[in-house]
Structure 1
Amino acid sequence: MGALDKFFETLPETFDVAKLLDPDVEAIENTIYNGSTTYKYFPVSRRSFFSKPQVRFSPREALNDEFEMSRRWREISADGIRSYIKDKLSVSLPAAFASNDLMVSMLAENMQENGQVLTPEQKQQAETILASEQGKLFMQNQLVAAQQALSPIVDLIFTQLETNFDSMVNDVISPMGVFCVTEDALNQQMWAHYADQGRGFVIGFDAQHPFFSHRDGTTQRHLLKKVIYTNEHTQNFWRNPYYLFLVKSPGWAYEKEWRMLKKFKGSDEAILTVTPEVHLWNIAPDMISSVHFGHKYNETELVADMASMMATGARPRFFKLVVNRAEGTLEEQPIN
């Protein structure tokens, strides 16, 4: 961490950034998947999963909803964030220019980047100059110049951001993939749409596995986010950026979907010869807690796939789907 970063950490919070955000943002952040298992539907063509457990984080083009990651906000004005930045800098700039220690530390860092070293004697000399009346006057003039340039620079940056917003959004989306899971392993529509009309299978994952969280020191952040089903548009993109990734129309509500995002550059395997590209992540065997085979799953393949799954070190519970026509439901039958 550089001297400037350390300096900013010492500044008091002068503006509550939460005021810029819609209350839904906090609700989304605080909504945690509390179930023990989350489920992923697979077509029978993905039988390779049993011998090599992998999941795909899909690009926008591979998702089934044509309106995925599209415009669900009425405007893109960044006035609130622009004011926030100006407010923060109006406090931090005077404090920075008044800190001789910071100025000397930044001088030392700059010299080091250019292969030079600020000796203790030179450091003392710099501190003496800055503490002199002439040094104070010089820094005051520099501060005035910086303050005069602050507003037009910030305005220019945000004007360009708003002008090129669609391109910026695409740049954000393009390098990222979505892993979609659900709360329900026995949903008839999802078996029809995503598991080959009962010929495929559903994998249950341990929802509390480290794969679904990020730990930074003592802080743990849950990565699964609940999809919002609504036709409403947020007033301003910046009020709720989650609308870009987590909103679908109410017609998809039966999916009970949760999502996780990853950048493609971290994938364990990439297939770049197809469109859209395929990016796969390896799954730890202990993360697999259950397997549901569809009611039309090939019995011979079922036995072989169970053996392949066990050979990876996974110890899931196995189930076969049964159609209860009298009740109009799908039921799970344990495989012993």
Structure 2
Amino acid sequence: MHMANVPSTLYKYVTPERIDILNNLNIRFTQPSALNDPFEFNLSFRELISSTQLHDHFSNIGVEQTFQNILNKMTADEKAIINSLPSEQLTTLKNDLANNFFSLSNIEKLNNTHISPNTARVKNELYSGLDTTIGVLSLTPNCSSPSMWANYADNSKGFVIGFDTQNIFFNRRRSKSDEFYHLRKVIYDDIPPAENLSEMNGNLLILKNKCWDYEDEWRMLLPLNTANTEFNTDEGNKISLFNYPATAISHIIFGMNATKSTIENITKAITNINPNSQIKIFKATKGATTFEITPI
């Protein structure tokens, strides 16, 4: 199912060395920690849970249930002693439990002593889980951005791959709530940290700071454990590559400063993919204020 609001073509800026994307017909889906934005998948919340939320939680459990839970953990002799108390004393005991254990001040102490100190550790564990689970492919509808040609295509020495977003590769969503296997537009917003985990923005996987909005990013997420090829670089970075069909490529744009060798190698790679390929070839040239994309 193709989403109507997805641009028909999305582009990937790459350096000249990434001709392997064409030669091998596979492409990297990058774990968040290896992306250029250090705040990707930022778990922005101040505390795990508020004392008020804890108070409401315990209040929902109720004194009777809590009292019964305590009894269940006692020995038979201890239970017998408690159950032998006069009803008035049992009521007093339960009231004391409600007034002390269930009081907001005591729950605040419980939170501050045992739960809040674990906030940083839990954040790190959650982020680590996301980082080892999710791979990101970043694309854009803009193929003539000077800053992106500079940053991601080796100062215009590289090239841009145009992908046909109607290709089945980009349209494998398994349900309406599926986070994976389909293209999604990144949301750019400066959202302050949530007070607690449950109030954190639900668009975590597609949310970025406004300073990145010039990239106009669309992304697809895939589970890293489904990668077709995995290896570690000499620096110890894990690379996860996913196969894609040759039919997903619609055209190639050479950078303004692409060398003759780069152009020849990429042209050869396209021919090897399919001698009768319908992949169109363009060249970026210098316009008055930005790049102009000219057919070859």
Is the structural similarity TM-score above 0.5? yes
Measured in 1, the distance between the counterparts of 2:174 and 2:205 equals 23
Please say if residues 224 and 260 of structure 1, whose CA atoms lie closer than 8 Å, have aligned partners that are also in contact: yes
d(CA) in 1 for partners of 2:55 and 2:240? Answer: 36
CA contact (8 A) 1:59 1:276 kept: no
**Rounded Cα–Cα distance in structure 2 between residues aligned with 1:230 and 1:216:** 28
Which ranges of structure 1 fall in alignment gaps of 5 or more residues?
1-30, 88-158
- Partner AA of 1:263 in structure 2: P
- Give the alignment partner of residue 58 of structure 1, picking from 22, 30, 35: 30
Matched, 1:189 2:150: no
Q: Using the alignment, how far apart are the partners of 1:39 and 1:58 within structure 2? A: 16
Query: 1:169–1:243: structure 2 CA closer, same or farther, 3 Å change rule?
Result: farther
Query: Paired residue for 1:263?
Result: 223
> Is the 8 Å Cα contact of residues 44 and 200 (structure 2) preserved in structure 1?
no
Q: Is the counterpart of residue 227 in structure 1 residue 190 in structure 2?
A: no
Q: Could you report, residue by residue, the CA deviation over 1:52-110 in whole angstroms, capped at 9, with x for unpaired residues?
A: 222111122321112222233344438989989xx9xxxxxxxxxxxxxxxxxxxxxxx
TM alignment of 1:234-253, pairs within 5 A = 235=194, 236-240=196-200, 242-253=202-213
Q: Is residue 247 of structure 2 the alignment partner of residue 290 of structure 1?
A: no
- 2:75 aligns with none
How many angstroms apart in 2 are the aligned matches of 1:217 and 1:68?
A: 25
Q: 2:43–2:123: 8 Å Cα contact kept in structure 1?
A: no
Over 3 Å counting, the alpha-carbon distance change for 1:168 and 1:307 in structure 2 is same
Name the SS for the 1:198 alignment partner: coil
Amino acid at match of 2:157: R
Report the Cα distance in structure 2 between the residues aligned to 1:67 and 1:231, rounded to whole angstroms.
Answer: 12
Offset of residue 243 of structure 1: 4.4
Match of residue 129 from structure 2? 172
2:175 is the alignment partner of 1:203: no
More helix by share: 1
Distance 1:179 1:333, change over 3 A: same
1:220 to partner: Cα distance: 8.6
Change (3 A) 1:218 1:229: closer
Aligned to 2:290: 329
Whether the aligned pair in 2 keeps the contact of 1:237 and 1:243 (CA below 8 Å) is no
Q: Counterpart of 2:271?
A: 310
Is the Cα–Cα contact under 8 Å of residues 160 and 253 in structure 2 kept in the other structure?
yes
Matched residue count: 236
State the distance in 2 between where 1:165 and 1:58 align. Answer: 23
Aligned to 2:265, the other structure's residue is in SS state: helix
Question: Any idea what the Cα deviations from partners look like across 1:126-174, whole Å, max 9, x if unmatched?
Answer: xxxxxxxxxxxxxxxxxxxxxxxxxxxxxxxxx79x7553144124312
Report if aligned partners of 2:227, 2:241 keep a CA contact under 8 Å in 1: yes
When residues 216 and 46 of structure 1 are mapped into structure 2, their CA distance, relative to the original with a 3 A threshold, is closer
CA shift, 1:34, in A, is 2.1
Instruction: Provide the residue aligned with 2:88 in structure 1.
Output: none
Q: What secondary structure sits across from 1:305 in the alignment?
A: helix
Equivalent in the alignment of 2:90 = none
**TM score, norm. by length of structure 2:** 0.68
Q: What is the aligned partner in structure 2 of residue 72 from structure 1?
A: 44
* Structure 1 Cα separation of the partners of residues 20 and 123 of structure 2: 38
Task: Report if aligned partners of 1:213, 1:220 keep a CA contact under 8 Å in 2.
Answer: no
TM-score normalized by the length of structure 1: 0.60
1:319 is aligned to: 282
Aligned-residue offset at 1:187: 0.7
Q: Secondary structure at the match of 2:155?
A: helix
1:217 Cα deviation from its structure 2 partner: 8.3
Partner Cα distance (2:292, 2:8) in 1: 19
CA-based RMSD: 3.5
